[in-house]
Structure 1
Amino acid sequence: MTFLQRFLLIAAFIPSFAVAQQKEKPKENWQNLDLQQDGVFGVSTERAYDQLLKGKKGEEVIVAVIDGGVDAEHEDLKSVMWRNPGEKAGNKADDDKNGFVDDVHGWNFLGSPNYSIRYDNLEVVRLIRKYQDKYASVLNSTPLSKEERKEFNLYKRMVTDYMGKLENARMGYENISILRKNLDTIAKRIGKEALTIRDFDDYKPQNDIESKVIKVVKSELKKEPDYKKFKDDLEEGYQYYHTQVNYNLNMDFDPRDSIGDNYANGAEHRYGNSDVKGPDADHGTHVAGIVAADRTNKIGIKGVAKNVKIMSVRAVPDGDERDKDVANAIRYAVDNGARVINMSFGKSYSWDKKLVDSAVRYAATKDVLLVHAAGNDSKNTDFENNFPTRIFADSLDANYWGMNQRVSIVPGGRPSGMGLPGMSGGALRVEQDTLKFTKLQAQNWIEVGASGWKNDDGLVAEFSNYGKRSVDVFAPGVQINSTIPGSKYKENDGTSMASPVVAGVAALIRSYYPALSAVQVKDIIMKSVTKVEQKVKVKEDGATKKVKFSDVCISGGVVNAYNALKMAETLERKLSSNK
């Protein structure tokens, strides 16, 4: 494989890098625009404000953003940040007696009183560490109990998975480091900062590697002639692999001791600090802006929803989030008044799914809607895990739920099978004929895939996960411009961007039609989608194929705020007349 081929492989490995180089751009604020009026497949938010909400006054709705942190001082967010009415900032006291000191804008579960964590491992690393003392020296011929054999086979599969990830990360880090180093040398020799494709045409390469680097750069500049943007994307790719090798996949790195909690105690809730921004708030700030960036200040961008206050709950490091932190983040948000919770994160393994399930059930008892990103692996989540999930582990009697099982739900209401990869004997059949589908999963949960702005066969974003039974709806998630720390703005791609679009629509409904329950709001969002008629491209087992949109999500469509608000008004009027 040549250097050029390997670099292009790296570019394809980072969806944001590949997509960011596209020359074509959507209309500004496209995610809020209307397909018929504006020619882009947005969610018709602006149409709803213009035609349905004028003169109407909604209630304030708190939306919790469980993420890596939010910059509460951003020019487009500071007016919409939740402020705990019972807490006085900076006095180092728990004024409202909720167990959290100085939680003015939310809480940070990734820290101690004086320190905040930025990096953590992937869950597969933590699980291997958990089981390696017991199984590292075990052979296939070693006598084991039935339960131990399950654990051992799953441990082996995790090790294989880990080694593949580590090899890819090391290769990516090496290659992108070579590209970065040689490009810096070339730029110094040219002697200019704002380089153009003409500069690279005129440059005489000193060796074979420089020739290949120039080919890569020229290829990208032909797509978009902004050298600074190319360099920024290259640096982002470098940092990605650097983090993977040194933190995410590093078996010797474990930051949890710095928090000071008893990690084994899932019932422990009181740890962390009030630093809701944390050391890296790019992702969470971007998500928060999509939900509710100030629509009235005539600067920056327009969030989907007005009448919203953003509560920042920090539980997602650069690495995989921990189930204990996620469960506590959900409970904190619920207890402090959130009516919608956005969760733009996910992972392939789960340490303690039942702990997260208990928090999801708690949210359901308090009528809180959870909105979750489907993930960015171009996979079918009917058969591939993206935790957390709405399906309850104990309902399936899944003792090893966190170990990358394959679960398939069939029409009629029961699991068709739960395969434990690596186990001899194939998939474990789960026969519970009396188990109803509605009891298997959280009803207050919406799973969101990412779509683009064109109403064609490329509507499903190439990176987006999908699933006929596991993904509910699609929403805009390509080249979404939103807030980042320092009162700046940036375009990002991902189901992480699609999920807050839906959270914003849910918040709009809950603001103007507060009598509707979380389950009713979900039902409205599902039933009011814009149906997609054409077949769309998805990836399956490395190949691209075309399928019906009803095969990529349950609703068969893209979220539509205008339709949803009309349906909500009709339902609330009907409910009122029946009282």
Structure 2
Amino acid sequence: MNKINAHFSSKKFIGLALLAAMPFFTFAQKPNWQNLDLKADSTFGMSTEKAYQELLKGKKSKPVIVGVLDGGVDYNHEDLKRIIWINKKEKPDNGIDDDKNGYIDDVRGWNFIGSAKGSVDHEALELTRLLRRDQAKFANADASSVAAADLPAFQAYQKMKADYDDKLAEAKSGLENTIGFKSVVDAMLKKMGKENPSSTDIQNYQPENELEGRVRNILLDQLKDQRFEEFYKAQLVEGITYFQGRIDYNLNMTYDPRAEFVGDNYADSRERFYGNNDIKGPDAKHGTHVAGIIAADRTNNLGIKGVADNVLIMGVRAVPDGDERDKDVANAIRYAVDNGAKVLNMSFGKAYSWDKAVVDDAIKYAMSKDVLLVQAAGNENQNIDVDKNFPDRRYNDGGQAGAFIVVGASGWKDDESLKASFSNYGKTTVDVFAPGVKIYSTVPDSKYENLDGTSMASPAVAGLAALIRSYYPKFSAQQVKDIILKSVVKVNHNVNLKVGEETKSVPFSDLCVTGGIVNVYNALKLAAETK
């Protein structure tokens, strides 16, 4: 999953197949909806504000460090700078490892996908890297020529190659379709003589052919819920960039930035000490948005209010535009744990793993240090009980991580649309759902944007976990997880689930372990009763 975000696929986007077929939410949501209350506000938020008003007034709390393992955090953002973790044992910019932890000048965190030469921005998918690794051995082979011992690996290669071919074809088709759609829109704008038309302007436009008529109808539908310039930038301009990036980087068999920008011994998964101290990196939009959802300053009357009010955000950069590498994920987990983080947010994931064992060991290490891990379920509308999604709390050698929460994304209406159309699900693998549609949060340069994704749902839960650990510090990571899961608002109705080309009506309880949406008020109330 690269950096998960709006209506495109995997991390950065959720899948803009044909624009005409895209599922969108076409009803307006209230500001700060994710923190509102279902009964009081008729919006299926998490009751965060209700908790502050009724349960937390006058109560004392302790600061909790939250590790944001992501693509970068803008630590100078107006709504984040007060709550950025500072390594007080390290003297800034002196070129010395003052605290002797192996990382020089790690004042605000660490970047495991960089070096003195710079930082990785774009990357290949893990699928692409695995194919590149195996093609020398299997590209020209067939089942009859492969040794019996190599047959399972050959069959895995064939499946990966088919998956890769599908993804490349989808990216090329998506690019062609988006360019074509944009060209029609641009022609219509020229005829209207307007760069940012209103819904009325679009409604009054007289299509000159059937294609313009279809585009006009799509635009009218989109403008029910957003301004034209927002749609144009997010779906057309960024859509073209996304699909071009899939072709040029994510699915490019020859693209490999590792040696140039990191320079580690990649064959050694246990290598720990590499990288640089640039926690922002070349593209901090995703991680900055995540950080704001968790803990944007609730006291400064600027921008937004995060879920937690006494948190320090530690930026640990391990996620490029493409698939994160297992070695970097393992090291990011260990770094955050060793430097005091008690909650880790992991808004990333992928369908293939290079070295799952090294990540398993890092997760076991986090469990041994009483750290709670929160992970986004992913944005492919897949059942991850069946389809693999890494990291995975289930260990290769048996058993699974206990203090580990997997989060799906929900919308704000308590009806059949409650499950976000893009969200992965799983009756045994996804624990809870949380708000993840049109979430307004921080982005670089002290700006704010609405983004969609399980990447936005995961930090809502991480923020709640940090809030509990802040006000009830005696609870273990496992106890915090149990409180969050036991206090959900149960959903007792069916929701829409698209399976292939068919939309089915299924019980929400079939989509996750708890059958509910996380709730801050309920969780804090249960915590108070449990202590």
Give the TM-score normalised by structure 1.
Answer: 0.85
Indicate the residue corresponding to 2:137 in structure 1. Answer: 134
Give the match's secondary structure for 1:83.
Answer: coil
Deviation for aligned residue 1:191:
3.9
Asked whether 1:548 is paired with 2:507, we answer yes
Amino acid paired to 2:166: G
- Shift in CA distance, 15/98, structure 1 to aligned 2, threshold 3 Å: farther
The reply on whether 1:176 has 2:178 as its aligned counterpart is yes
Could you give the per-residue CA deviations for residues 414-465 of structure 1, whole angstroms, max 9, x where no partner exists?
A: xxxxxxxxxxxxxxxxxxxxxxxxxx11001001011111111221111111
Displacement, 1:569?
1.9
Which letter maps to 1:529?
Answer: V
> CA offset at residue 566 of structure 1?
1.6
Answer with 1 or 2: which has the greater Rg: 1
Deviation (angstroms), 1:143:
4.3
Partner of 2:3: none
Conserved? CA contact 1:76–1:294, under 8 Å: yes
Structure 2 CA distance, aligned partners of 1:14 and 1:296? 38
Q: Is 1:501 aligned to residue 468 of structure 2? A: no
1:269 — aligned with what? 272
Structure 2 SS opposite 1:394 = coil
Greater mean deviation of Cα atoms: 155-164 or 541-550? 541-550
Counterpart CA distance in 2 for 1:260 and 1:555 is: 44
Residue 370 of structure 2 corresponds to which residue in structure 1? 367
SS of the equivalent of 1:13 reads coil
**Unpaired runs of at least 5, structure 2:** 1-7
- Matched with 1:561 is 520
How far the C-alpha of 1:221 sits from its partner, in A, is 3.1
**What's the counterpart of residue 257 of structure 1?**
259
Partner of 1:531: 490
Change (3 A) 1:190 1:97: same
Name the aligned partner's letter for residue 326 of structure 1: V
Equivalence for 1:474: 433
- The answer to whether the aligner puts 1:315 opposite 2:318 as a matched pair is yes
1:238 aligns with 2:237: no
Q: Which amino acid aligns with 1:174?
A: E
Amino acid at match of 2:524: L
Task: Report the count of equivalent residues.
Answer: 517
Counterpart position of 1:79: 82
Alpha-carbon RMSD across the aligned residues, in angstroms, is: 2.3
Name which of 278, 282, 286 aligns with 1:279: 282
- Deviation, 1:250, is 0.7
Q: Is the 8 A contact 1:106 1:311 kept in 2?
A: yes
2:348 matches 1:389? no
* AA matched with 2:151: R
Deviation digits for residues 82-124 of structure 1 (CA, Å, limit 9, x no counterpart)? 1111112222221211111111111111111230110000110
Residue 269 of structure 1: how far off its partner (Å): 1.0
* Residues 1:463 and 2:422 are matched in the alignment: yes
Give CA-to-partner distance per residue, 1:310-343, whole Å, 9 cap, x none.
0010000000110000000000000000000000
Q: CA, structure 1 residues 516+548, in 2 after alignment: closer, same or farther (shift >3 Å)?
A: same
Indicate conservation of the 8 Å contact 2:14/2:453, yes or no.
no
Q: More deviation in 291-300 or 174-183?
A: 174-183
Q: Show the counterpart of 1:248.
A: 250
Unmatched 5+ stretches in structure 1:
1-7, 396-439, 573-579
CA distance in 2, matches of 1:197, 1:520: 50
Partner of 2:96: helix, strand, or coil? Answer: coil
State the distance in 1 between where 2:320 and 2:488 align: 33
How far is the alpha carbon of 1:142 from its aligned partner?
A: 1.5
Contact 1:84 1:104 in 2 (8 A): yes
CA displacement at 1:229 relative to structure 2: 1.8
Paired residue for 2:30?
A: 27
Distance 1:449 1:330 in 2: 21
SS of aligned partner of 1:327:
helix
Alpha-carbon shift at residue 145 of structure 1 (Å): 2.3
Query: Secondary structure in 2 aligned to 1:266?
Result: coil
Take 1:205 and 1:376, find their aligned partners in 2: how far apart are those partners?
35
Ranked by relative contact order (alpha carbons within 8 Å, sequence separation 6 or more), the top structure is: 2
Letter in 2 for 1:43: M
TM alignment of 1:446-461, pairs within 5 A = 446-461=405-420
Q: Deviations over 1:158-182 (max 9, x none)?
A: 0000000000101111222233345
- Residue 14 of structure 2 contacts residue 422 of structure 2 at CA under 8 Å; is this kept in 1? no
> Does the aligned pair in 2 maintain the 1:221–1:227 contact within 8 Å?
no
Q: Distance in 1 between matches of 2:372 and 2:240?
A: 37
Distance in 2 of aligned mates of 1:569 and 1:126: 48
- Quote the Cα distance in structure 1 between the aligned partners of 2:68 and 2:14: 29
Cα drift, residue 509 of structure 1: 0.5
For residue 330 of structure 1, the aligned residue among 310, 329, 333 is 333
Give the distance between the partners of 1:484 and 1:98, measured in 2 at CA: 30
Contact 1:197 1:222 in 2 (8 A): no
Q: Is the 8 A contact 1:200 1:214 kept in 2?
A: no
Seen in structure 2, the aligned counterparts of structure 1 residues 16 and 475 have a Cα distance that, compared at 3 Å, is farther
State which of 31, 42, 45 in structure 2 corresponds to 1:42.
45
Contact 2:438–2:452 under 8 Å retained in 1: yes
Determine the C-alpha separation between the residues in 1 that align with 2:46 and 2:178: 37
For residues 335 and 291 of structure 2, the distance between their equivalents in structure 1, rounded to whole angstroms, comes to: 18
Greater CA drift, 367-376 or 218-227:
218-227
**Structure 2 residue aligned with 1:489, among 448, 456, 468?**
448
- What corresponds to 1:219 in structure 2? 218
